[in-house]
Amino acid sequence: METRSRHFPLLAQVMALLGVLGWGAQSLQAQLQSAETDMIEIEGAFREAVSLWASERFESLWERADAATRKSIPQEQFVFTLRQRALRPACCFRQIQELAVTILTPEDAIVKAKMGFDSKTRGTTLDTTLTFSLRKEEGGWRVVARDFLRLPDETLHRLFLAPPRSGRR
């Protein structure tokens, strides 16, 4: 009886340790599932925003923007600025060719995507890799729409965007 009573505290400690490890594994699994769900939601929100951008539904894109963008940029200005852009996302398979999601915090993420663009002025195309920010607000992921106003940087693609030279001098 004395031998059993000496081993009981050790057995209790081992059982407690296994319980903690099991709980930790369940917690880790729950965190991984939550992160995977967030990544799917982030990718979906980004793809939807790019689709709205490509189809020139700028009002809807502004409505899906984060609160800071909607507060700082009036919808009319946002729509006007996007309509004036020389580049627009390409169609179909060229629109988003590669995509990687990085969750920075539970409320902030970035999407790095290789995207295709068409020039409205030249009829030419451009593929480039860009980074966009997303924020979790109002129960879902929202794009930082200011990124859509500045990306891609058209000043870096002046030769690409310049109208073709005429043959006359």
pLDDT in tens, 111-169: 999 999 988 777 778 889 999 999 999 899 999 999 999 888 665 555 555 555 555 55
First vs last Cα of the chain: how many Å apart?
109
What does the chain come to in residues?
169
Cα torsion 52, 53, 57, 61 to 10°: value is 70
pLDDT reported for residue 15: 61
CATH of region 2-161: 3.10.450.100
pLDDT exceeds 90 at position 9: no
- Residues facing residue 151 across a β-bridge: none
Q: Which of 39, 46, 38, 59 is nearest to 89 (CA)?
A: 46
What secondary structure letter does DSSP report for 169? -
Mean pLDDT over 93-116 rounds to 94
CB contact at 8 A, 96 and 78:
no
pLDDT at site 18? 54
Residue 130: exposed, middle, or buried by beta-carbon count in 10 A (0-12, 13-18, 19+)?
middle
- Mean pLDDT for the stretch of residues 62-74: 95
The domains of the chain are located at: 2-161
| Helix/strand/coil percentages in the chain, nearest 5 | 55, 25, 20
pTM, entire model: 0.74
